[in-house]
Amino acid sequence: MPHIQLLPDLLVSQIAAGEVVERPASALKELLENSLDANSRDIRLDLEEGGIKLIRLVDDGVGIAPDDLKLALTRHATSKIASLDDLERVASLGFRGEALASIASVARLTLTSRYAEAAHAWKVGALDGRLHTPEPAALARGTVVEVRDLFFNTPARRKFLKSPPTEYAHCDEALRRVALAHPECAFTLAHNGRVSRRLAVSDWQARALDILGEDFAAAARTLDEAAGPLRLYGLAGLPAYSRAGRDAQYLFVNGRFVRDKLLSHAVREAYRDVLHHERHPAYVLFLELPPEGVDVNVHPAKTEVRFRDGRGVHQFVLHVLERALGGCRESSAGASLPSWVRDGGEGAPITPAASPAPAYSSHPLGGGGSGGVPRPWTQQPLHANEPAPYYQMVADALAPPAEIRNPQSEIGAAPPLGYALAQLSGIYILAENAHGLIVVDMHAAHERILYERIKTAFDARAVASQPLLIPVVFAATGLEMAIAEEAGPALAEMGFEIAPVSPTHLALRAVPAMLKDADGERLARELLKDIHEFGLVGVHGGAMHARRNELLATLACHGAVRANRKLGVPEMNALLRDMEGTLRADQCNHGRPTWFQLTLSDLDKLFMRGQ
């Protein structure tokens, strides 16, 4: 049997590199984070062959002192933290002191840096796994890192690399993630000598627009809310802009891109009621909290985090998003551009769009070829926070019999969804508002209205519980037993009674009356699992709630008007007013939009008027 021995230093680094440096994109991410930690404001990236041949990063950060230069390429050497205390409240992106050393062990790396006070720059190279002595070099300021021939000495890893275009796409994605969270820094990305992405210094909203495109920005709702030390801001894509994959989901915790189970769950829950379950929402969300509230030292790549108060964070994210998606907030009602593009205010949440939209090209990069193309339609959130009686008043005051109403004189004061004009094919309602034509899917809209109404009615009542004559006994794990016991009172509040009957079996003795015909055992198991993973908070939107809402949704669907039902003008107007007073009325229960606006200018363009 071989003896136990200490591994050579290079091998240790290469093993560590296996965790951190998986492909050019991950090396790129580490380099970018270093630059940002060094307060860079302008970063230029040159890639060759998808970053496999070369990654060159040029920044204007503080640089590295000549004496530290050699140390920078050594394992567990960092300037970012010094003690355990620092680790607990780490505010920089990096802190492990491994990135450069890891990259140096699997690539030919040269590091040139000029410290702010130094007379000239110094250069150090780690070629063929050996550290060279620093030598003077020419550089105005900042740092230049060159990573050549990634994995040249680890052929096994090299085999796992994909084609240069694929690797480039990964690098680009890595840059997008970093750039989204750091609008204060300009980025330039060049691939094989051609500049492919140029991002100017801006605020987060403009940066999101640059990176995700105006389609997303127009179909997203801006949110910015704080509660105590927590702040959540960003763009939440409307359900109509959902994706088939999870590709447009950017979640940042303190400027760090993460894929966190807890946060993703909170987001999904918030979207649950408005999104078809096979669709995925698109969003860019930034969560800020004090560094001590979150532990980032969970995973070498730092895409996983752990929250000290996970339950609180979950609840906060869920509620902020729910409110934003529910249309509770006053939002812009005007043209197709999101309000912030027009205002350009720094982090300004949402401003009513009283001002007309200026030319799109005023924005640094958004103005290109696509900026001037009109969007054929658009959808604005409704002012659902207005109490319904208000609209009733307006409607009463403004709605004389439809035949004699003169749209010209009243349209200025019309409610957001306007007044019904006619019904199309027994399916759609055509209405006119201040901006033009509105097309409403009658069944979808009515379904949502009924659904929300039924839900509210059920929420208002105490949960009726149906005790079982013959309890459902099922084998449970020790964990499930413990949760059932611990959460007993909360479960009772929801109409459940789950009690142990033996050390290994639980009995479901009562279920909510509404779910009496559901599969009791599965429901109980899902419930206990939810409680375990997300605490009792999560259960509010968890399995039980989902099942109940499914039932209510069927009720609503059966109750809603069907296609080919002839509606009179007063009926249609009543439906429009109901929509304005209903939460989440912009989407039907399955996440499809319930209405579209076709503005006058859109129509003008269709007919090429004034051109």
- Which residues in this chain contact other proteins in the complex, by CB under 8 A? 454, 457-458, 461-462, 464-470, 472, 495, 510, 513-514, 516, 519-521, 551-552, 555
The one-letter amino acid at 189: L
Euclidean distance between CA atoms 199 and 172, whole angstroms: 12
- 112 or 582: whose CB is closer to other proteins? 582
Instruction: Give the pair of three-digit tokens for residue 390.
Output: 């208000």
Residues 429 and 443: their CA atoms lie apart, in Å, by 10
Cβ 555 to other proteins shortest distance, Å: 6
C-beta closer to other proteins: residue 106 or 560? 560
Q: How far apart are CA 238 and CA 592, in angstroms?
A: 10
CA angle 491, 494, 498 (to 5 degrees): 35
Least separation in angstroms between CB 35 and other proteins: 58
Q: Which is nearer to other proteins, 402 or 555 (CB)?
A: 555
Amino acid identity, residue 393? Answer: M
Q: Report the nearest approach of other proteins to the CB of residue 75 (Å).
A: 57
Antiparallel, parallel or unpaired: β 194-199 and 186-191: antiparallel
- Closest CB 384 distance from other proteins, rounded Å: 21
- Tokens encoding 503: 């050390």
Look at strands 256-257 and 249-253 and give their pairing. antiparallel
Tell the smallest beta-carbon distance from residue 480 to other proteins (Å).
Answer: 18
**Least Å from the CB of residue 581 to other proteins:** 17
104 versus 511: smaller Cβ distance to other proteins: 511
Using the minimum distance from each CB to other proteins, give the nearer residue, 82 or 469. Answer: 469
Residue 227 vs 490, nearer CB to other proteins: 490
- The DSSP line for 513-524 is GGGTTS-HHHHH
In the complex, what is the shortest distance from the CB of residue 505 to other proteins, in angstroms, rounded to a whole number? 15
Are 90 and 291 in contact by the 8 Å Cβ rule? The answer is: yes
Least distance between other proteins and beta carbon 475 (Å): 14
Minimum Å gap between C-beta 208 and other proteins is: 42
If the CB atoms of residues 462 and 608 are measured against other proteins, the closer one turns out to be 462
**Distance, CA of 574 to CA of 23 (rounded, Å):** 58
Kindly calculate the radius of gyration of the chain based on its CA atoms and give it in whole angstroms.
29
Q: Which amino acid is at 171?
A: C
Task: Choose between 51 and 512: whose C-beta lies nearer to other proteins.
Answer: 512
CB 456 to other proteins: min, Å: 9
CB of 514 to other proteins, least distance (A): 5
Residue type, 269: E
Q: Nearer Cβ to other proteins, position 402 or 472?
A: 472
280 DSSP 8-state letter: B
> Please, what is the minimum distance in Å from the beta carbon of residue 465 to other proteins?
4
> Residue 406: exposed, middle, or buried by beta-carbon count in 10 A (0-12, 13-18, 19+)?
exposed
Interacting residues of 12 by C-beta distance below 8 A, sequence separation 6+? 75
Cβ(463)–Cβ(493) below 8 Å: yes
| CA–CA gap between residue 498 and residue 135 (Å, rounded) | 72
Choice between 382 and 552, CB closer to other proteins? 552
Residues 6+ apart with CB under 8 A from 513: 463, 464, 465, 466, 495
Shortest distance, position 513 Cβ to other proteins, whole Å: 4
Using the minimum distance from each CB to other proteins, give the nearer residue, 327 or 495: 495
Closer CB to other proteins, 190 or 472, in the complex: 472
> Which C-beta is closer to other proteins: that of 513 or that of 606?
513
Beta strand extents in 151-305 (DSSP E only): 186-191, 194-199, 220-227, 230-237, 249-253, 256-257, 283-288, 294-295
Instruction: Say what angle helices 520-540 and 310-325 make with each other, to 10 degrees.
Output: 90
368: number of Cβ within 10 Å: 10
**Tokens describing residue 296:** 């980032």
Task: State residue 373 phi and psi, 5-degree precision.
Answer: -70, 125
What is the DSSP code string of 411-426? GGG--TT-EEEEEETT
